[in-house]
A = this chain, B = another copy of it.
Amino acid sequence: MKFELTNDFRERFSQAVDERDEAFIIASLEGEKPADISALLHEFETEDSKYVIDLLPSEVRADIINDLDEDIRSRFLRVFEPTEITEIVNHLDSDDAVDILNELPIKEREEVIACIDNQEKEANILDLLRYDEDVAGGLMAKELIKANLNWSVVRCIEEIRRQAENVQKLYSVYVVDDNDKLLGRVSLKKIILAEDNMHIADIYDPGVTSVETYMSEEEVAQVMRKYDLEAVPVVNMQGKLLGRITIDDVVDVITELADEERQMMSGISEDVEEADSIWMLTRARLPWLIVGVMGGFISARLIGVFEEELTRITAIAFFIPLIQATGGNVGIQSSSIVLQSLANPSAFNDSMQKRLFKVFVIAALNGAVLATLVYGGNLLTGGAVNLALVVSTALFCVVLIASLIGTITPLILHKFGFNPALASGPFITTTNDLMGLAIYFYTVHLLL
């Protein structure tokens, strides 16, 4: 790296941008990796970034824009003319081109597509626009090299040469029959090592793993991870080869899914990061906080119902936090174990009864230990025997029910197509808070 992404360099570069110091900018960015330039441009206003980008060669420009964060890019593309966007799109693989097109308003998208003069590119892009972003079809690129089973190795090499510029990342050549049906693959290593008089049929590997266009991005990630693949061919239901997905896109998918899960688990309702504006961060946090406050209000009403008991024995109030904290902790543990199973599914699943029975046994064990601790602790600290009994009984019940709610909620969410991580966030805490309080005060009412 010629420049280092330090705060000092940012200062110096920022000054050069302010002064429109073309020579310095060109000199310091020359030969740099697009991903580094993107990281630098994230620090500047759209207008300044556009000025910098216009100084660079068009193929670098395309890669930089491809590497920008989505939210910054969509803001950024608004200052580009359709012809400029077309030029960018022309330099990118079809999957990346479609990602950018999907960020444009429909009218502008049509204008950009109309400007593409390479007919194959246009057809590829129109084909890919049909798929949702989060299925295999939406992840795949059309650029790949395929060889007919009957070709000679020499002919295959010619094809690689012809397509060399289009297909940037090349790991293997996919082998198809006359109808483009996927039959297998040949690694580049095998092609290099093959004798000139050999045919594809002699060296190809028929045991190729493929995914179908409608598979979800999670499933694609699971397949590629399980079989350690760097690329996977995408076929339609008839087995016809349509495209391929490379591991770099899947690594992004895995990272985004983890980010999304973290946000859901912590009750953040939008895709934000620390660098976002105060307004965005506040907005992303308020909804679940308000839900929590509403839960708190309902709790207040619920406790109010038992005001009489509370006035009689003030010490009841002491254990509200204990009951609630335990209910919340148990619920989140339970739902996160389900999340783990959903994220890394095993080949075989036990029946629902068996799973719930196991949850029940674990909860009973944990509940018994905690209830005993609390009972002992209460007596040791000089608490009343009957109150100690009430708290422990309520705690045991709360652990059981919080476990079941924590287990079932993510499964139901998953079943109906929602992100199950929602169940590990403030949702489960708020529900369990209320449930815990109700159980506690009902036990108090019954036993005291």
Contact = CB atoms under 8 A, between A and B. Distances in A.
Interface of A: 5, 7, 10, 31, 33, 35-36, 39-40, 42-43, 157, 160-161, 164, 169-171, 187-189, 191-193, 207, 209, 224-230, 246-248, 250-252, 254-255, 258-259, 261-263, 265-268, 272-275, 278, 281-282, 285-286, 288-290, 292-293, 295-297, 299-301, 303-304, 307, 310-311, 314-315, 317-326, 328-330, 332-333, 335-341, 343-344, 346-350, 355, 358, 361-362, 365-366, 369-370, 373-374, 377, 381, 424, 426, 429-430, 433, 437
Contact of A258 (B252, B254, B333): B254
Contact of A295 (B247, B278, B325): B325
Contacts of A324: 321, 324-325
Given A40-B347, A266-B335, 13 more contacts: A7-B349, A42-B346, A42-B347, A188-B188, A225-B255, A250-B251, A261-B262, A274-B338, A285-B362, A289-B366, A292-B325, A296-B325, A311-B311
Contacts of A343: 258-259, 262
B192 A35 contact: no
Contacts of A339: 262
Candidate in A36, A362, A366, A426 with the most chain B CB atoms within 10 angstroms? A362
A314 B307 contact: yes
Please list the 7 inter-chain residue pairs (A to B) with the smallest Cβ-Cβ separation, ordered nearest first: A296-B322, A266-B336, A299-B321, A228-B248, A300-B318, A317-B317, A5-B347
A430 B165 CA distance: 58
Interface SS majority for chain A: helix
Given A322-B297, A374-B293, A366 B285 contact: yes
Given A35-B227, A329-B289, A348-B7, A337 B274 contact: yes
A268 B322 contact: no
A337 B272 contact: yes
Contact of A320 (B187, B297, B317): B317
Contact of A347 (B39, B329, B340): B39
